[in-house]
Amino acid sequence: MKKASVPQFRRILLKLSGEALGGETGTGICPEVVNDMARQIGEVRKLGVEVVVVVGGGNIFRGIQGSEQGIERATADYMGMLATVINALALQDALEKVAVATRVQTAIAMSQVAEPFIRRRAMRHLEKGRVVIFGGGTGNPYFSTDTAAALRANEIGAEVILKATKVDGIYDCDPKRHSRAHFYDQITFREALEKQLKVMDSTAFSLCMDNKMPIIVFNLFKPYNLKRVILGEQVGTLVIP
């Protein structure tokens, strides 16, 4: 069967965890991994797909862990938001090195390094073919970058959220610990809730479910997987209304 060569989506939101940028160890920033992410995003842009990215910061600092160690929760969350901006700048640098026009927008104003998040400006960047990276989460403590991804995806009219992970998709238990873990190639929001499958945190998941925003969970670390998803190949797990 001939593979599809036409993108199945016009505008996507790619959710990257901070740990993904850290490579095998999940800490710090791994240049090889970030460069590979930039290459994959560049491939998708060449297909004419509009791309926005939301990055986490867990490879540098995770707010909830900071609060468990005695830092006041709101302060710890703001520290985590700053970590996401560091990752956003690293990804921007890698993208520009492969000639992909990029803008970073942050939910917390820091005009010397990035634009403030302005929805209409972000939409305009997309129309001009630029990749837009959202840093700083939602700009509010007590909300994860999963929630930021769900919020931004709905705000900018994305057709799907692509949640990049280190596993092939959604399983009923950890496939690294259980050899008989069951893989789902497609599942509904209701089924995921009933089976208590951790696709995203509850706030983000509810926001996607209420607004009928599909999610594809896939392994970004397999060659060309992002492009394969965009072309409509069966990659990862599709979560549908």
Burial of 189 (0-12, 13-18, 19+ CB in 10 A): buried
Burial of 38 (0-12, 13-18, 19+ CB in 10 A): buried
Beta bridge partners of 15: 54, 163
Would you state the pLDDT for residue 1? 39
Would you state the pLDDT for residue 3? 57
11-240 sits in which CATH class? alpha beta
Q: How many Å separate Cα 138 from the centre of its chain?
A: 14
- Beta-carbon contacts of 173 under 8 Å, excluding residues fewer than 6 positions away, are 181, 182
Would you state the pLDDT for residue 30? 97
Provide the whole-model pTM. 0.95
What is the DSSP code string of 66-110?
HHHTTS-HHHHHHHHHHHHHHHHHHHHHHHHHTT--EEEEESS--
Would you state the pLDDT for residue 8? 96
Among 205, 215, 108, CA closest to 160: 215
CA atoms within 13 A on the CB side of 3: 10
Would you state the pLDDT for residue 216? 98
CA atoms of 3 and 241, how far apart (whole Å): 27
What is the DSSP code string of the chain?
-PPP-S-S-SEEEEEE-HHHHTTTTTSS--HHHHHHHHHHHHHHHHTT-EEEEEE--TTT--HHHHHHTTS-HHHHHHHHHHHHHHHHHHHHHHHHHTT--EEEEESS--TTTSEEP-HHHHHHHHHTT-EEEEESTTSSTT--HHHHHHHHHHHTT-SEEEEEESSSSEESS-TTT-TTPPEESEEEHHHHHHTT--SS-HHHHHHHHHTT--EEEEETTSTTHHHHHHTT---SEEEE-
Would you state the pLDDT for residue 230? 97
> What parts of the chain have a pLDDT lower than 50?
1-2
